[in-house]
Chains A and B, each alone.
Chain A
Amino acid sequence: MMVATVTVLARSRNLFAVIVLSGIYSFLMATVLVALDAVDVAMTEAAVGAGISTVLLLGALHLCRSDEAKPLQAPWRSLAMAVATVGVLVYGTYGLPPFSDPQAPIHRHVAPRYLNDSVKETGVPNVVTAVLASYRGYDTLGETTVVFTAGIGVIALLRRRGKQREKDAA
């Protein structure tokens, strides 16, 4: 179903259809993430990917024409680039340990300590929250700062535009 959605998405020239399809794709992705037991990520994907970004894209669509312009040249070069990148990435996965291998290095470094001691050390039964907020507190601070910076960037870009227009009108 995701393959069908992406195929239609890539072929469509109507941007409204593209936005709706990408919303559908996000919901399908959220379903996949639930199947992988990553409920946190699924929740985020459904709310951000399918909800808020769809609304923002519709807002942007309101500002421009709803049909995609014809590309200047045939996209063969981009296609070749994408296929090459996929090839390299797939080749890279052969170096990874097999999926859900308990002996993989990532499961033997700090993960056992998190899983065994996090309740004792932090009193939080949800290991994800314990790692995110306590053991990896610096990373989460950085992440919050990134969100903050993105917001400030949007304000800086769009607000100046609005003020200038007021000045022009006056």
Chain B
Amino acid sequence: MKDDLVLRVVTKLFIPFILLFALYVQFHGDFGPGGGFQAGVIIAAAIIFYAIIFGLPTTRRVVPDWLVETMVAAGVLLYGLVGVTGILLGGNFLDYFVLGATPVAGQLRGIFWIEVGVAITVSGVMLKTFYMFAARARDE
């Protein structure tokens, strides 16, 4: 579908808004519906959309494999790290109260970082699965 002018232009117009919406869902999750999982899925969907229109090789240049694979592990590590930081600062595992000056500030900071972790892992896994399937389809 690389040669279709309409699809190319519409894709280029849409993707920034999809990514922006993902960030909105991520960081506005404290106030409205949404959170890390949803944001991660939307980010992955945007990149898969790009891959469908522009082809897998182009997408692999934009979002390389090593980055995706790092994302898969980095999200869980970030989540665990927030938990361990709680222990180091004198609380229990995943205890956010000690992360900030006041308990509420600590909670906000903890929730923010674990949501980031969830988003990174989810979008990494979705993208990696898609890459794997798409690459197989192209080989055969």
Complex Cα distance A165/B32, Å?
A: 48
Bound-complex Cα distance A43 to B125 (A): 18
Docked pose: A44 CA to B132 CA in angstroms: 22
Decide if B114 is an interface residue (CB 8 Å cutoff): yes
Are the C-beta atoms of A123 and B104 separated by less than 8 Å? yes
CA distance A123 to B32 in the complex (A): 14
Distance in angstroms between the alpha carbons of A10 and B135 in the assembled complex = 30
Point out the residues of chain A lying under 8 angstroms from B48, CB to CB. Answer: 51-52, 55
Which residues from 114 to 158 on chain A have a C-beta closer than 8 Å to any C-beta of chain B?
A: 120-126, 128-130, 132-134, 137-138, 140-141, 143-145, 147-148, 150-152, 154-155, 158
Cβ-Cβ contact count across A and B, 8 Å cutoff = 142
Interface class of chain B by DSSP = helix
The verdict on A40 contacting B73 (CB below 8 Å), with A134-B110, A134-B111 known, is no
Measured between C-beta atoms, what is the minimum distance from B124 to chain A in Å?
Answer: 7
- Bound together, the chains give a CA A137 to CA B93 distance in angstroms of 10
A144 and B103 contact, CB distance less than 8 A: no
CA distance A40 to B39 in the complex (A): 10
A59 at the interface (CB under 8 A from B): yes
User: Which of chain B's residues have a CB closer than 8 A to the CB of A152?
Assistant: 72
B-side interface residues, number (CB < 8 Å): 53
A62 within 8 A of B: yes
Q: How far is the CA of A127 from the CA of B127 in the complex (A)?
A: 30
- Label chain A's interface by main secondary structure: helix
B33–A39 touching, CB < 8 Å: yes
Question: Which A residues lie within 8 Å of B33 (CB)?
Answer: 39-40, 43, 126, 128
List of B residues within 8 angstroms of A56 by Cβ? 129-130, 133
Do B103 and A121 touch (CB < 8 A)? yes
Which B residues are in CB contact (< 8 Å) with A130? 111
Contact A126 B32 (CB under 8 A): yes
Which residues of B approach A to under 8 Å, CB–CB? 25, 29-35, 37-38, 41-42, 44-45, 48, 52, 69, 72-73, 75-76, 79-80, 83, 94, 96, 103-105, 107-108, 110-111, 114-115, 117-118, 121-122, 124-126, 128-130, 132-137, 139-140
A positions within 8 Å CB-CB of B: 39-40, 43-44, 47-48, 51-52, 55-56, 59-60, 62-63, 120-126, 128-130, 132-134, 137-138, 140-141, 143-145, 147-148, 150-152, 154-155, 158-159, 161-162, 165
